[in-house]
Amino acid sequence: MAGERIQKVLARGGVGSRREIERWIEEGRLKLNGVEAKLGDRLQPGDHLQLNGRVVHWDKFSLSATRVLIYHKPTGEVVTRRDPEGRPVIFTQLPKLQNGRWIAVGRLDINTSGLLIVTNNGELANRLMHPSTQVDREYAVRILGTVEDAVLTRLRQGVELEDGSARFDDIQFRGGEGANKWYHVVVSEGRNRLVRRLWESQAVTVSRLMRVRYGMLTLPDGLKAHSFYELNQKELDILLESVGLDKEKPLAPGKARF
């Protein structure tokens, strides 16, 4: 039978993970041509799909080569498609896609800069963000003042935050002059403002925060703010395999863009 399974198409478009979409099908939340969809259903050209009564324009998620960008987000930009306050958004800085849309892998708050991964492959994005993957995130943190060893020990062992216990998997002192000191810290979960909240729990002031690594991907040296680097085919294959996805036949070569 031609066509692709509903869960595969919607996951690629970033609607949800395959498992989530399979659960929605089992719960009767998806209708295909007016009839409740079944797990084995495949989408054909012209099919009408609804999720919770709303039309899903699934044809936008047609099969295309996976692309992954490392974007250097500056402070002051927000990770959203439209901002009601009129603040600059990261998606206006990215190249246009003929099919599909860019999906951000996690978020950085407006005051945090550095590495942000964006991709047109929703399944890849979901796997990189899923708590079960426990992908390391490394941040460069500028601290105002001196941090006592006892504070660092507590942050490594774990402290209680309003949404549960959390800790740094690693803390490395990276030098500094005067009142400012630099540390590199690693966390393996993506809770909102987690790095700032951990430091603040110890009455430590963070004056600058920058993400420099997400899993195996690092912020390239010399990549300026507002610019991005596109993974080449070899880099993309390694990333796909790292989250259990098949390598793709190259439809277009990866390029570096600055």
Angle made by CA atoms 107, 109, 112, in degrees to the nearest 5: 105
Could you tell me the two tokens for 205? Answer: 């002031």
Single-letter code of the amino acid located at 63: L
For 142-169, give one letter per residue: b (16+ CB within 10 A) or e: bbeeebeeebbebbeeebeeeeeebbbe
Minimal CA–CA distance to 170: which of 131, 213, 204, 201?
A: 213
| Cβ-proximal residues to 51 (8 Å cutoff; 6+ apart), any chain | 15, 24, 29, 30
Segment 156-214, tens digit of pLDDT? 999 999 999 999 999 999 998 788 999 999 999 888 899 999 999 999 999 999 999 99
Of 47, 83, 109, 149, the active-site residue reads 109
| Cβ-proximal residues to 46 (8 Å cutoff; 6+ apart), any chain | none
pLDDT of residue 19: 85
Single-letter code of the amino acid located at 180: N
Q: For the chain, where are the alpha helices, taking DSSP H only?
A: 6-12, 18-26, 122-129, 149-157, 194-200, 233-242
How many other CB atoms are found less than 10 A from the CB of residue 227?
A: 17
pLDDT of residue 255: 39
Rounded Cα distance, 58 and 46, in Å: 10
Using pLDDT thresholds of 50, 70 and 90, give the confidence band for residue 59.
confident
Is the pLDDT at 108 greater than 50? The verdict is yes
- C-alpha distances in Å from residue 228, one per residue of 101, 114, 232, 235, 242: 16, 11, 13, 15, 22
Lowest mean pLDDT among 1-10, 41-50, 161-170: 1-10
109 is catalytic: yes
pLDDT of residue 15: 83
Segment 142-152 shows an average pLDDT of 93
- As a whole number, the mean pLDDT across the chain is 89
Rounded Cα distance, 60 and 50, in Å: 14
Q: Can you list the domains of the chain with their CATH numbers? A: 4-61 (3.10.290.10), 68-132+217-242 (3.30.2350.10), 136-214 (3.30.2350.10)
Rounded Cα distance, 104 and 116, in Å: 7
Lowest mean pLDDT among 24-38, 194-208, 242-256: 242-256
